[in-house]
Amino acid sequence: MPEGMQETKEESQLASIFRPSSFVVQNGRDAYKGDGVPTLLVENLSFSYPDGRSALRDVSLQIEDCEKVALVGPNGAGKSTLMLHLNGILNGEGYVEVGGMPVTGPNLPVIRAKVGLVFQNPDDQLFSPTVFEDVAFGPLHMGLPKDEVLQRVARALQRVGMSDYADRLSHHLSVGEKKRVAIATVLSMDPEILILDEPSAGLDPRARRALINQLRELPITMLVSTHDMRLVSELFPRMVIMDEGRIVADGATDALMGDTALLEAHGLERP
Amino acid sequence: MMQTNLLDRYQTGESLIHHLDPRVKVVVTVLFILSNVLLPDGAWPAFALAWVLILVISVLAGLGPGYALKRSFVALPFALAAVTVMFNVPGQSLFAWQLGGWHLVATDAGVIRFASIVVRTWLSVQMAILLTATTRFPDVLHALQHLRVPHLLVAIISFMYRYLFVITDEAKRLMRAREARSARSATGAGGGSVAWRARGTGNMVGQLFLRSYERSDRVYNAMLARGYNGQFMTINPHVMCTSDWVVGIVAVAILVLLQVVGRMGSGW
């Protein structure tokens, strides 16, 4: 699988280049708030790994400004694969747009600043020796001036309550601290949407509680993949269920949580 | 999970040495090692002086005089690789061995050279130990960057430092999992053949490689997701101030003095 992912990264995405960005409006979707542009738009996205395994089948999803959406489903449902498409690390067939900007080759540097993608394992996310360097990595690669970078690092660390940790070595942190720093590493880029893969996995109850409170307070659009159904009902008004590469349900969390048959069909449990 | 503190040699402190700019420390360490190499064989006064310098630095750094000495013996076995010079430098023969078909004759010049090589290694290792004890590793990396060491090289060392701990932990988990299943029945001798065990160990090494390989892919994705485009960019806040320059110049002067002392006896 690793070799395959390398290849697709480099491939150009002809399919999406030929779609005009006005496609959205022509398609008759007009229920946007704010500036009328959805923060995230995915249209008919399909993706197969080079070994032929189909990971995404005809996925369409739209997320508005400041919506907090949970993405649930069994392992192997395609949640992580979908997330890797949202900032162009993987390129499938279909159309992806962030804040009105298509996710295509020339836009990628800007897209990656707009999409704050936090990976599941904080040891993958935190690759620099010190916390400061990790949080500064994104802003530095956006080409911001030094003062601005320093300000953003300070602000991002403060937002996750880790201000005192700037000089610490990443490998000395606890899992909970690593997760919070991992979120700071993308907050420092001022993203339009925060995408988290399993943020509460491996946390003890106290660290999990701290993380939930932190996420609740962040005034930012969020798409969070998780198996933690209590987290979902507590934090996310909207829930998307994926199974076998498809979106099988998308709606209000309260309603979907009440549908026991639906949850059981996709290997999920009520909290 | 973090049990690899033994790899972190940094000793927290507020001494003059701790607060020196890391560039000064890196440059002086490299020059010190170079100076040891350049000292002629048997320049004992100069070697002794070099050791005094190390003692003074350890005391200034608040580590106590024996700090580097105690930790330096780890490296001595490597110096033994030079043992052959005892026998192949021409000079007065001191003693002889018959080793199989070989007739080995140790010469006085050979023994002096061997002893000098051991002392040089031992001194150099002590200085490197002092560097890592008084400088946080990320600062050493910053220093290398400031000193124009190629970015790619610094990045590789930086990743090595970061993931050394992660991979050590992974290896420990694998080993623990193996131990947990290394049962033996109450009657029979457990185990299996040496070859069978070796295969198990080989599989573990392979596992470790595969995991690291897959991790490298995920780390690369995490870098791409934050705008990495093949160019490494860092900020490091180090600024050379007057005291750094003064210490650096004094240290270089001492090293020059060492060279002079070392060469006085041997007529340059």
The 8-class DSSP code of residue B40 comes to P
Which residues on chain A place their C-beta less than 8 Å from a C-beta of chain B? 1-2, 5-6, 9, 84, 87, 89, 109, 112-113, 115, 117, 119, 121, 123-130, 133, 136-138, 140-142, 146, 149-150, 169-172, 185-186, 189
Q: Is residue A270 assigned to a domain?
A: no
Question: Are B88 and B141 members of one domain?
Answer: no
Which pLDDT score is estimated for A205? Answer: 86
State the ipTM, two decimals.
0.72
Question: Are B108 and B49 members of one domain?
Answer: yes
- Measured at the CA of B265, the angle between CA B262 and CA B268, to 5 degrees, comes to 70
Residue B115 is encoded by which pair of tokens?
Answer: 């002893």
Place of tokens 């990264």: A9
Q: What are the DSSP calls for A59-110, one per residue?
A: EEEEE-TT-EEEEE--TTSSHHHHHHHTTTSS--EEEEEETTEE--GGGHHH
Question: Are B126 and B250 members of one domain?
Answer: yes
pLDDT in tens, A134-182: 898 888 888 888 888 888 889 888 888 888 888 888 888 888 888 889 9
Please give the tally of structural domains in chain B: 2
CB contact under 8 A, A141 and B234: no
Q: Is residue A217 assigned to a domain?
A: yes
Which domain, by its residues, includes A250? Answer: 2-265
CB of B175 within 8 Å of any CB in chain A? no
Edge to edge, what strands does the sheet with A54-63 contain? A54-63, A40-48, A93-98, A101-102
Q: Is residue A48 assigned to a domain?
A: yes
| A61, A40 contact by CB (below 8 A) | yes
CB contact under 8 A, B217 and A115: no
Band (A27; pLDDT cuts 50, 70, 90): very low
CB contact under 8 A, B235 and A172: no
Neighboring chain A residues of B213 at a CB cutoff of 8 Å: 2
Whichever domain contains A63, its CATH number is: 3.40.50.300
pLDDT in tens, A48-94: 888 878 888 888 888 888 888 999 888 888 888 899 888 888 888 88
Q: Is residue A259 assigned to a domain?
A: yes
Question: Are B129 and B146 members of one domain?
Answer: no
Q: Is residue A164 assigned to a domain?
A: yes
pLDDT in tens, B69-103: 888 888 788 878 888 888 877 777 777 777 777 77
pTM confidence score? 0.72
The span from the CA of A173 to the CA of A129, in Å, is 12
Q: Is residue A79 assigned to a domain?
A: yes
Neighboring chain A residues of B229 at a CB cutoff of 8 Å: 109, 141
CB of B141 within 8 Å of any CB in chain A? yes
Neighboring chain B residues of A189 at a CB cutoff of 8 Å: 226-227
Q: Which of A124, A141, A150 is facing B228, going by the closest CB pair?
A: A141
CB of B138 within 8 Å of any CB in chain A? yes
State which amino acid sits at residue B149. V
Task: Provide the 3-class DSSP secondary structure of residue B69.
Answer: helix
Which domain, by its residues, includes B99? Answer: 9-135+239-264
CB contact under 8 A, B165 and A133: no
| A184, A208 contact by CB (below 8 A) | no
Q: Is residue B72 assigned to a domain?
A: yes
Q: Is residue B196 assigned to a domain?
A: no
CB contact under 8 A, B229 and A109: yes
CB contact under 8 A, A129 and B222: no
Q: In sequence order, which ranges of B80-193 are alpha helices (DSSP H)?
A: 85-88, 108-134, 137-146, 151-181
Q: Is B182 exposed, middle or buried (0-12, 13-18, 19+ CB in 10 A)?
A: exposed
CB contact under 8 A, B227 and A125: no
Chains A and B: how many Cβ contacts under 8 Å?
Answer: 90
Question: Are B90 and B150 members of one domain?
Answer: no
